[in-house]
Amino acid sequence: MLNLASAPPAASLVRDRAVDATTLAFMHVDQDGLIQDWNPAAERLFGWRRDEILGLSLGDVLVPPALRSAHNAGFARRLVTGGDEERIAGHKVEMPAVHRDGRELRISLIIDAIGQDGFGAFISDQTDWHTAQQELQRSNTLINAILQHTSAMICAKDLEGRYLFVNGEYERILGVNAADVVGRLESEMVSPAVAAVGRAHDADVIESGEARTVLEEVPFAEEIRQYVVTRVPLTDPDGSVYGVCTIAIDDTTRRRTDAALAAGERRFATTVNNAPGMLYQFRAAPDGAAWFTFVSEGCREIFGLEPVEILGASGRLYEIIAPEDRASFFTSMSVSAETLQPWSWQGGIDCSDGTRRYIYGVSRPRREADGSTVWDGMMLDRTRERNTEQDLVEVRREVADLTDRLTALSSKTGDPA
């Protein structure tokens, strides 16, 4: 270390030039705590020029304000007791410091005693390194929190399939401790069949160097659970694969729910499409636009139209309403929309095959937040019933006519000759 008290003049000159040329900051502080020497690197590190700082107190310019009282007390104690130069000499000490502009720095010092002249110290800036370490620690804390508290099972294995790491969810699901798992093969933890599947997927990731996501079924007690498993290659800085990270998410409940929903939708569709007539939902917007938002497959039987020909429009259906019944149709819809009373209508429609059918429609309206009116209802083909009614009317008319004729004939037959 530099010892200015005992160095000969030539050596002092060489050392002075070395101190000025080094990238390490250097300062000399006397026994009163006043700065006596200051090299260019110290100027760059702390922002003080040499001519400005010489003679100033170390504690007043370089020690953060919150630590100055403790620093000054410690320096005074050192003067009284003789100090602890032997304990700290040559050792690296890290501490906070302050830049001229008020920024706090983190510096590392190597201190050397200079006898009665105080001490010298070489200083390096550790601020960026210290900040990086803090960020690394925060990142590690964050990553560890995620790994240990996520609901996904996460593990890492080497190329031989031995565990390098398992997270808390892995421990919970398999009922193991990480300390007992690390270093063991997967085949020692799960069934041979499951281990073989996992090992094959691991080998694919290792060989390709690319992540893979697959669905795997894993038996647990009396049930089989489904996991979405993503495997990611673990690589060294040179890109070589040294292991595989596995992230397994239990997808059983969602898949069962989706399957149940799909089954429910199929049952609903079957019920609706097998119901007599046509079930529908019709919407009329405040601006006058109107359209069908749903029609069942019964529209084929009633109107001779496919659902796609009716959905999203109302014009196609309006066109086939019998001309003499259109007025009653629109009037009934307007009244229902205005009063929100159930809609009921009967009328004829002219089908594309040239036949006329008679429809009975009924629905209940409701008003939505945007002012639209929505009808949920059904339409039934009443053609047969209407024809039967007409036939009955005709039969009644013919019976009445026949009765009248018989009555007249009886009257004539009963007259005296």
Nearest alpha-carbon partner for 250 in 232, 225, 231, 230: 225
Cα-flanking dihedrals φ and ψ of residue 118, to 5°?
105, -125
Pick 411 or 358 by higher pLDDT. 358
pLDDT tops 80 at residue 122: yes
pLDDT tops 80 at residue 43: yes
Overall average pLDDT of the 93-115 stretch: 86
Confidence (pTM): 0.49
Helices (H) and strands (E) in the chain, counts: 16, 15
CB 116 within 8 A of CB 127: no
pLDDT digits (tens, 9 = 90+) for 237-284: 899 999 999 999 988 888 888 878 888 778 877 877 777 888 889 999
Residue 208's pLDDT band, with cuts at 50, 70 and 90, is very high
Query: Is the fold of 9-131 the same as that of 150-255?
Result: yes
Question: What is the CB neighbour count within 10 angstroms for residue 51?
Answer: 9
pLDDT above 70: percentage of residues in the chain: 84
pLDDT digits (tens, 9 = 90+) for 164-195: 999 998 888 888 898 889 999 988 888 888 88
Overall average pLDDT of the 27-41 stretch: 89
What CATH number was assigned to the domain covering residues 275-383? 3.30.450.20
DSSP H or E run through 252: helix 252-274
* Domain spanning 150-255: CATH superfamily: PAS domain (3.30.450.20)
* Domain spanning 9-131: CATH superfamily: PAS domain (3.30.450.20)
Q: Is 295 strand, coil or helix?
A: strand
Range in 61-70, 155-164, 186-195, 314-323 with the lowest mean pLDDT = 314-323
pLDDT tops 50 at residue 417: no
DSSP H or E run through 124: strand 119-125
Overall average pLDDT of the 382-387 stretch: 81
> Can you tell me the distance from the alpha carbon of 140 to that of 132, in angstroms, rounded to the nearest whole number?
12
Q: Where are the domains of the chain?
A: 9-131, 150-255, 275-383
